[in-house]
């Protein structure tokens, strides 16, 4: 996205406070507070016929996933809701918001509600505030030789989107993975003091891994066959094409991290998928050897 | 606005955490942190031909004004910027954002940038985080007999909007008051420990005074002739109609507060304009006696 890239460069030029981390990270860090703000817009991040409760869920989940990646426990959210004159949609949205907040155990602290002009898409923003439980990992802490891990699974949400939009058939659990992602808060907090770098996988594993490597000033090697796919995804295919599709699909909200240490005391078993290397860029292999990079490494939201 | 009222009721039902203050206040209060989030949308809060730097300024100022009303010093902002494919506009917006942040001495900590779908209006949100300097006044602390004050002037922004939109002629300083409001941070912090209730005047003095009175469970009596008008505004008219127009125009970002104490050590001289009374509702007088309430007490943003 030209627009986002240009704008981000301009915004980075004015975000000089150290807490902003140069706008290169998933969140801002102010003392022990971790703060993040993501927007979702109808026609960009969700479709007019998506269930409103799922839109609300996603709004909360994508922001809490950023807190998870920084090892922060959510302490509150503020919402900006730009709605249209559709009382049923709006009521369902608020019910979904309530359900998501209860499920993810975070209170609504405030915000603003605006009626959008006629014909305008719905537009939402959410600020999530978290409290760090220890070290607040950045994307930039990785070093050559660190192992690269994923906690959670990769590719379910991409398959779920394809199923939801009628491009293929598959089980409902994949659609749920797309519409109701679960931020890995507990895992993120347990990992925070054990990782050298961490981020959440929102735009696709390959593009996000490259971002982590670039931020750390190193390269990254990934074994395509080590990427954790769910059983439901594996039943739909496990060849190179299927794995590349999983590794370039967005919206998974898994955690991607690096560590030079053995991992311990975790609420699950992250999967080692590769390591950081000296040669810059992204290096992909499977049992057949070198895998050429796909032309798209991930999902870039189109305006 | 039916939409905003219904939605707010539904949102209040789920914002049960004490920090949310029932969504009845200008900001959330979490320990010594004060948090607020306001949106501005093209076609609702600003016009497509408004200067982009002024839109950015207003986005910052309206949120910092909420912090001022809680006696909080701004410590950072996160922005959600939904922009269109107009590089010149966007560059001017970022320059204006930078100017506003420097002027108001608050760092940009993070946020999100999204390209809106084709034809959609620009949509912005900003979360401002402040640190309380002492007591954090609410709207609800007023008691019968407390004096009602305004810090800042009332009506300049309304006149500025009328001038900017070609409905009347007048000096440029009034247009500046509309486009570049100055949040009264220093005054708000100096007042915080001296007031029983405080809020900023964003939608119009009369409607906001009624909100403060309602939240405090009392009524409010206002002397129309005591309302502080600027010299520039007075030159354009000082009769009852002019004063009612000033008292029902929005966007002033003055501070409205109540106190039973003599005020001291302030960076300016607030104007006493009335008091809280036992009889519920809003009671308006001038030298001729009772003033019938206008049909519109303030500005309600239309979607």
> What is the interface pTM, i.e. ipTM, of the complex?
0.90
- Per-residue pLDDT, averaged over A153-159, amounts to 97
Which residues on chain A are in Cβ contact (under 8 Å) with B90? 3, 6-7, 10
Q: What is the mean pLDDT of residues A229-240?
A: 97
Residue A59 backbone dihedrals phi, psi, to 5 degrees: -55, -45
Which chain A residues are within 8 Å of B41, Cβ to Cβ? Answer: 82, 114, 116-117, 120, 123
Q: Is A5 helix (H, G, I), strand (E, B) or coil?
A: helix
Please determine, for residue A302, whether its predicted confidence score (pLDDT) is greater than 90: no
pTM above 0.90, yes or no: yes
Q: Which of B7, B107, B117 sits opposite A121 (nearest CB)?
A: B117
**Does residue A290 carry a pLDDT above 80?**
yes
Predicted pLDDT at B172: 96
Any bridge partners for residue A110, and if so which? A78
The answer, yes or no, to whether residue A228 has pLDDT greater than 60, is yes
Q: Which of A10-24, A59-73, A218-232 has the lowest mean pLDDT?
A: A10-24
Question: Model confidence at A7, in pLDDT bands (50, 70, 90)?
Answer: confident
- pLDDT for the residue B189: 97
Percent of chain A with pLDDT over 90: 86
CA–CA separation, B139 vs B156, rounded Å?
Answer: 24
CB B238: neighbour CB atoms within 10 A?
Answer: 13
Q: Cβ(A84)–Cβ(A115) under 8 Å?
A: yes
| Cβ–Cβ below 8 Å for B39 and A129 | no
> Distance between CA A16 and CA A146 in Å, rounded?
29
Distance of alpha carbon B209 from alpha carbon B282, whole angstroms: 8
**How high is the pLDDT of residue A9?**
84
Q: Which domains does chain A have, with CATH numbers?
A: 2-132 (3.30.1330.10), 147-290 (3.90.650.10)
User: Residue A292: is it exposed, middle or buried by C-beta count within 10 angstroms (0-12/13-18/19+)?
Assistant: exposed
- Smallest CA–CA distance, residue A199 to chain B, in Å, is 15
B22 versus A210: the higher-pLDDT residue is A210
The pLDDT value given to residue B285: 98
Contact between chains at B80 and A17 (C-beta distance less than 8 A): no
Give the mean model confidence (pLDDT) for residues A169-174: 96
* Structure confidence at residue A303 (pLDDT): 33
Per-residue pLDDT, A281: 97
The 10 Å Cβ neighbour count of residue B280 is 13
Q: Which residues pair with A127 in a beta bridge?
A: A37, A78
Write out chain B residues lying below 8 Å of A13, CB-based: 98
Q: What is the mean pLDDT of residues A24-37?
A: 91
| Candidate from A9-18, A287-296, B134-143 with smallest mean pLDDT | A9-18
A110-122 per-position pLDDT tens digit: 999 999 999 999 9
HEC assignment per residue over chain B: CHHHHHHHHHHHHHCCCHHHHHHCCCCEEECCEEEEEEEEEECCCECCCCCHHHHHHHHHHHHHHHHHHCCEEEEEEEEEEEECCCHHHHHHHHHHHHHHHHHCCCCEEEEEEEECCCCCCCEEEEEEEEEECCCCCCCCCCCCCCEEEEECCCCHHHHHHHHHCCCCCCCHHHHHHHHCCCCCHHHHHHHHHHCCEEEEECCCHHHHHHHHHHHHCCEEEEEHHHCCCCHHHHHCCCCHHHHHHHHHCCCCCEEEEEECCCCCCCCCCCEEEEEEECCCEEEEEECCEECCCCCCCCCCCCC
pLDDT score at A3: 55
Smallest CA–CA distance from B109 into chain A, residue? A20
- Return the higher-pLDDT residue of A78 and B21: A78
Of A15, A20, A114, which is closest to B39 when you measure between CB atoms? A114
- Distance between CA atoms of residues B114 and B261, nearest Å: 48
**Which of A44, A83, A98 has its CB closest to that of B7?**
A83
Residue-by-residue pLDDT tens, chain B, 303 positions: 345 577 778 888 889 898 888 888 889 999 899 999 999 999 988 888 899 999 999 999 999 999 999 999 999 999 999 999 999 999 999 999 999 999 999 999 999 999 999 999 999 999 999 999 999 999 999 999 999 999 999 999 999 999 998 999 999 999 999 999 999 999 999 999 999 999 999 999 999 999 999 999 999 999 999 999 999 999 999 999 999 999 999 899 999 999 999 999 999 999 999 999 999 999 999 999 999 999 999 876 543
For residue A179, is pLDDT > 80? yes
Q: Are A224 and A294 in contact (CB under 8 A)?
A: no
From its phi and psi, is residue A155 left (phi > 0), alpha (psi between -120 and 50) or beta?
left
Facing residue for A123 by CB, picked from B38, B98, B123: B123
Tokens, residue B136: 């954090």
Q: In whole angstroms, what is the distance from residue B188 CA to residue B105 CA? A: 15
Q: What is the pLDDT of residue A51?
A: 96
Contact list, A41 vs chain B (CB under 8 Å): 82, 114, 116-117, 120, 123
Q: CA A75 to CA A67: how far, in whole Å?
A: 10
């Amino acid at each position: 996205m030209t627009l986002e890239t240009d704008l981000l460069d301009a915004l980075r030029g004015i975000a000089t406070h150290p807490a902003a981390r140069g706008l290169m990270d998933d969140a801002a860090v102010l003392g022990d507070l971790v703060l993040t703000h993501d927007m979702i817009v109808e026609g960009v991040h969700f479709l007019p016929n998506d269930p409103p409760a799922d839109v609300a869920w996603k709004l909360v989940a994508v922001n809490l996933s950023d807190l998870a990646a920084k090892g922060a426990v959510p302490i509150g959210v503020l919402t900006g809701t730009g709605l249209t004159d559709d009382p049923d949609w709006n009521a369902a949205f608020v019910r979904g918001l309530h359900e998501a907040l209860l499920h993810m155990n975070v209170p609504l602290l405030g915000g603003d509600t605006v009626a959008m002009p006629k014909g305008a898409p719905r537009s939402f923003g959410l600020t999530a505030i978290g409290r760090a439980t220890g070290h607040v990992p950045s994307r930039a802490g990785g070093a050559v030789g660190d192992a690269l891990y994923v906690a959670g699974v990769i590719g379910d949400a991409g398959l779920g989107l394809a199923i939801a939009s009628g491009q293929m058939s598959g089980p409902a659990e994949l659609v749920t993975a797309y519409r109701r992602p679960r931020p890995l808060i507990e895992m993120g907090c347990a990992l925070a003091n054990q990782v050298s770098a961490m981020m959440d996988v929102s735009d696709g594993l390959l593009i996000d891994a490259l971002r982590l490597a670039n931020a750390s000033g190193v390269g990254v090697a990934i074994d395509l066959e080590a990427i954790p796919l769910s059983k439901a995804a594996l039943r739909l295919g496990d060849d190179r094409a299927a794995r590349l599709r999983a590794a370039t699909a967005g919206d998974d909200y898994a955690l991607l991290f690096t560590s030079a240490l053995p991992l311990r005391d975790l609420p699950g078993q992250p999967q080692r998928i590769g390591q950081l290397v000296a040669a810059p860029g992204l290096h992909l292999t499977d049992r057949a050897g070198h895998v050429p990079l796909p032309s798209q490494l991930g999902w870039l939201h189109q305006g």
